[in-house]
């Protein structure tokens, strides 16, 4: 009789309807794309020979002026924090989000600040798919289909690599077994190669708007939240006509009526740090300043969080 009752209980449990609360929520997926400044040149290690290490991430977490802002990046032992709720897939690298997912293991890009904001914003696991290559223009390399001419090879790369990762998600990240996924947003930081070319500059606004429309169509998510981070190198004092023109074009796209509430522009000029307080004088790479890259990513994350809260993407 006891065995019969036990079997009956198991059968009833198996037949019981699954509550929505019992089903694991899908992974929130965000794409971060662009050229070398999305790759990220923010120095992690403090090199005393380079401005006493100023502008590096190690300097930021220790310096009295910035330690409070960046204290969440290290644990009690001083080791870099590894998020247990945010993962990243960046071309040939993948893992839980931590310091070192910039252009190489000793650099950071916008992914770090973005991932911390978005990871804190959602209860679901978060996956960042970072697709960035140095020296690429929107006019040619990322050229969207709707702009006419030859479709950019790196536009195709973004679409195909995103589909490949999401189509093989459980193998790429066994932790996600039993979960679906939701493509929830797209972050863009790019512009230098168009900024230094007048012809590319002149069509940037058209190409950026077409890129957003086409990427949504090709990835199958209508009104996918999209954040554009300004190509603001040079800071608030920048006066070069092409630089000003390109930044104006980036901002203008977010003002289109069709993009209201689903596209955001993030100004970055205020994040510029001069070379005397930075690890390098590479102005096209934000002087390798880790604070700059973190703040860009953080601002992109805040903007994305608002877009996602305002209106979820409609498939």
With beta carbons less than 8 A apart as the criterion, state whether 35 and 193 touch. Answer: yes
pLDDT of residue 15 exceeding 70, the answer is: no
The CATH number for 185's domain is 3.40.50.1110
Q: Is 9 inside a domain boundary?
A: no
- Strand-pairing partners, residue 87, are 96, 127
Q: Is 259 inside a domain boundary?
A: yes
Calpha distance 125→136 (Å, rounded): 31
Give per-residue pLDDT as tens, 136-163. Answer: 999 999 999 999 999 999 999 999 999 9
List the structure tokens of 232.
Answer: 């603001």
With beta carbons less than 8 A apart as the criterion, state whether 264 and 78 touch. Answer: no
Q: Is 10 inside a domain boundary?
A: no
Q: What confidence score (pLDDT) does residue 310 get?
A: 82
Q: Is 79 inside a domain boundary?
A: yes
Give per-residue pLDDT as tens, 258-301. Answer: 999 999 999 999 999 999 999 999 999 999 999 999 999 999 99
With beta carbons less than 8 A apart as the criterion, state whether 90 and 130 touch. Answer: yes
Q: Is 17 inside a domain boundary?
A: no
Q: Is 303 inside a domain boundary?
A: yes
Chain Cα centroid distance, residue 80: 20
Calpha distance 179→27 (Å, rounded): 7
Give per-residue pLDDT as tens, 43-102. Answer: 999 999 999 999 999 999 999 999 999 999 999 999 999 999 999 999 999 999 999 999
With beta carbons less than 8 A apart as the criterion, state whether 223 and 217 touch. Answer: no
Calpha distance 139→157 (Å, rounded): 15
With beta carbons less than 8 A apart as the criterion, state whether 188 and 259 touch. Answer: no
State how beta strands 86-90 and 181-189 pair. unpaired
pLDDT of residue 311 exceeding 80, the answer is: no
pLDDT of residue 4 exceeding 80, the answer is: no
Calpha distance 281→43 (Å, rounded): 12
Calpha distance 9→182 (Å, rounded): 36
Counting the structural domains of the chain, the total is: 1
With beta carbons less than 8 A apart as the criterion, state whether 119 and 83 touch. Answer: yes
- Burial tier of 190 (Cβ tally within 10 Å: 0-12, 13-18, 19+): buried
Q: Is 282 inside a domain boundary?
A: yes
pTM above 0.85, yes or no: yes
What does the chain come to in residues?
315
Calpha distance 211→140 (Å, rounded): 12
Q: Is 16 inside a domain boundary?
A: no
Structural domain span for residue 217: 24-310
With beta carbons less than 8 A apart as the criterion, state whether 176 and 220 touch. Answer: no
């Amino acid at each position: 009789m006891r065995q019969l009752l036990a079997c009956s209980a198991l059968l009833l449990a198996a037949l019981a309807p699954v509550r929505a609360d019992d089903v694991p929520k899908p992974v929130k997926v965000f794409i971060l794309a662009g050229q070398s400044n999305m790759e990220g040149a923010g120095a992690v290690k403090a090199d005393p020979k380079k401005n006493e290490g100023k502008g590096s991430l190690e300097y930021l977490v220790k310096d009295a002026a910035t330690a409070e802002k960046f204290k969440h990046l290290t644990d009690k032992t001083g080791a870099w924090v590894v998020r247990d709720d945010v993962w990243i897939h960046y071309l040939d690298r993948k893992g839980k989000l931590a310091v070192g997912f910039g252009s190489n293991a000793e650099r950071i890009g916008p992914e770090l600040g973005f991932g911390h904001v978005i990871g804190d914003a959602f209860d679901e696991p978060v996956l960042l798919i970072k697709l960035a290559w140095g020296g690429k223009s929107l006019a040619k390399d990322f050229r969207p289909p709707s702009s006419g001419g030859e479709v950019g090879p790196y536009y195709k790369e973004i679409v195909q690599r995103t589909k490949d990762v999401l189509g093989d998600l459980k193998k790429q990240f066994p932790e996600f077994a039993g979960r679906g996924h939701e493509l929830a947003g797209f972050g863009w930081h790019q512009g230098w190669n168009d900024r230094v070319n007048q012809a590319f500059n002149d069509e940037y606004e058209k190409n950026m708007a077409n890129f957003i429309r086409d990427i949504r169509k090709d990835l199958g998510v209508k009104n996918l939240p999209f954040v554009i981070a300004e190509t603001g190198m040079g800071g608030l004092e920048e006066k070069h006509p092409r630089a000003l023109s390109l930044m104006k074009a980036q901002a203008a796209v977010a003002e289109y009526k069709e993009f209201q509430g689903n596209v955001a522009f993030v100004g970055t000029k205020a994040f510029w740090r001069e070379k005397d307080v930075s690890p390098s004088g590479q102005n096209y790479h934000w002087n390798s300043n880790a604070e700059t890259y973190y703040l860009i990513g953080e601002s992109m994350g805040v903007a994305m969080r608002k877009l996602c809260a305002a209106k979820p993407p409609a498939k």
